[in-house]
Amino acid sequence: MIDRLAKFVRDTQIWQSVFRHGYPDNDRNQSLIMFSSVLLHLHPVKIRRSALRFRYTMCLGGLSAFMFLLLTFTGIFLMFYYVPDTRQAFQNIKDITSNVFMGGLMRDLHKWSAEAMVFLVWMHMFRVFMTGSYKAPREFNWGIGVILLTLTLLLSWTGYLLPWDQLALWAITVGTKMAEATPFFGYAGPWGQQLGMRVDNDIRFLLIGGTVVGQSALLRFYVLHCVALPVLITLGMVVHFWRIRKDGFSGPL
Ligand code: HEM
C-alpha cells in the first residue's frame, strides 16, 4: 500500500519537475542526483570515502557556514527593533532583551553564534593547515579563506559597537585608535604625516566619520555590519564553495 502510494507520488508531474532523477542505484544516477541538487552539488561529484569521515574535517567549514546562516536569521529579527541612533540604540537593546517576545532568545543566539563563528573559522583554518589542504591546487581557496577570516573578524568587531554601551564605546575607541597608528594610512602611524595624513582625513576618520566615536560611527558600523560585510562574506563563500567543488576535496590518502 505504502509502496504504491510512494510510486504514485513519484510518478506525478509535480514530483518529477522537482526531482528529475530516480533512485541512486547506479553510478550514472548517483552522479545525476549530485548534479541536479543545489545542496549535494556543493560537494565534488567524486570524493574519497575517507574524506567524508567526520574526524577529517570535523565539519568545521560547514559549521562556520551554518553559524553565518543563523547570524543572518537572528540579525534580521533584531533589525526589526534596533535603530542606529545614539539616543535610542541602548534602550532598544534593553527592550529587545526584556520586552520583545523571544527577543532575549534571538539576541543570545546572535551573540553566541557570532562568538562560535569566529572560533569555528579559526579552527577550520587550523584543520586545513594541519592536513596540508592549502597546497596545490588549493592555494587560491586558501587565499579566499584568509579574506573570509578577515571579513568574519570585521563582522564581529562592527557588531560590537551597536549596543552603544560603555563597553562598546571604549572598545571601538581603542580599536579605531589602533587604526590611527597604521603605517601610511593613519596620521599617528609611521610615514602617515609625511604622506599628508591628518586627524581629519586618515583611515580612522574614514571609519568613524569624525574624530570621536559618535553618531556617524554608529551609522557607519551599522551599515557595514548589516549590509556591506554580510554581502561580501556571501560572495566570498560562493567562490569558496565553487572552488572546493572544482579543486576536488583533499581527503586523507
Ligand atoms: C566564513 C568562513 C569559512 C567557511 C564558511 C568555510 C567553509 C568551508 C567548507 C564547508 C569546506 C568543506 C570542508 C570542510 O568542512 O572543512 C571548506 C574547505 C576549505 N576551506 Fe574553508 N571556510 C571558511 C574559511 C576558510 C579559511 C579561513 C581558510 C584558510 C585560510 C579556508 C580554506 C579552505 C580550504 C583550503 C578548503 C579545502 C579543504 C580540503 O580540500 O581539504 N576556509 N571551507
The C-alpha cell of 231 is what?
554581502
Q: What is the C-alpha to C-alpha distance for residues 185 and 191, in angstroms, rounded to an integer?
A: 8
pLDDT at 99 over 80: yes
Q: Ligand 1 mean position to 177 CA, how many Å?
A: 32
Nearest residue (CA) to ligand 1, atom 7 = 61
Looking at ligand 1, which residue's alpha carbon is closest to its atom 6?
A: 61
Mean pLDDT of 84-98: 98
- The pLDDT, as a whole number, for residue 253 is 63
| Averaged pLDDT for residues 228-251 | 93
- For residue 113 and ligand 1, the question of a CB distance below 6 A is answered with no
Predicted confidence at residue 38, as pLDDT, reads 80
Distance CA(151)–CA(153), nearest Å, equals: 5
Question: 10 Å Cβ neighbour count for 202?
Answer: 25
Return the ligand 1 atom nearest residue 251 CA. Answer: 41
Calculate mean pLDDT across residues 40-49.
78
Residue 23 has pLDDT above 80, yes or no: no
pLDDT of amino acid 167: 97
What 3-state DSSP class applies to 248?
Answer: coil
Residue with C-alpha cell 568587531? 157
155 lines ligand 1 (CB under 6 A): no
Residue-level pLDDT at 201: 95
For residues 82 and 49, the model is more confident at 82
pLDDT score of 197 more than 80:
yes
CA gap 113, 88 in Å, rounded:
25
Is the distance from the beta carbon of residue 236 to the nearest atom of ligand 1 less than 6 Å? no
pTM of the model: 0.90
What pLDDT, on the 0 to 100 scale, is given for residue 35? 80
CATH code 1.20.810.10 region(s) in the chain: 58-247
**Domain 58-247 maps to which CATH number in 1.20.810.10, 3.30.70.100, 3.40.190.80, 3.40.50.1480?**
1.20.810.10
Q: What is the pLDDT of residues 140-174, one digit of tens each?
A: 999 999 999 999 999 999 999 999 999 999 999 99
**Closest listed residue to residue 229, CA positions, set 94, 86, 71:** 71
> What pLDDT, on a 0 to 100 scale, did the predictor assign at position 1?
87
Provide the grid cell at 119: 572560533
Return the exposure string of 88-122: e unless at least 16 CB atoms fall within 10 Å of the residue's CB, then b. ebeebbeebeeebeebeebbebbeebbebbbebbe
**How far is Cα 80 from Cα 102, in angstroms, rounded to an integer?**
13
- Written as one string, the DSSP assignment of 126-191 is HHHHHTTTTSTT-HHHHHHHHHHHHHHHHHHHHHHHTT-SHHHHHHHHHHHHHHHTSTTTSTTSTT
Mean pLDDT check: name the lowest of 32-41, 48-57, 144-153: 32-41
State the pLDDT at residue 204. Answer: 97
Q: 239 falls in which pLDDT band (50, 70, 90)?
A: very high
- Over residues 30-44, the mean pLDDT reads 80
Alpha carbon of 124 to ligand 1 centroid (Å) = 6
Strand (E) or helix (H) holding 220: helix 215-223
If DSSP codes are grouped into helix, strand and coil, which group holds residue 1? coil
- Is there an atom of ligand 1 within 6 Å of 240 CB? yes
Percent of the chain with pLDDT over 90: 78
pLDDT band at 187 (very low <50, low <70, confident <90, very high): very high
Ligand 1 pocket check for 121: Cβ under 6 Å: yes
Q: What is the mean pLDDT of the chain?
A: 93
Q: 131 alpha carbon to ligand 1 midpoint, in Å? A: 12
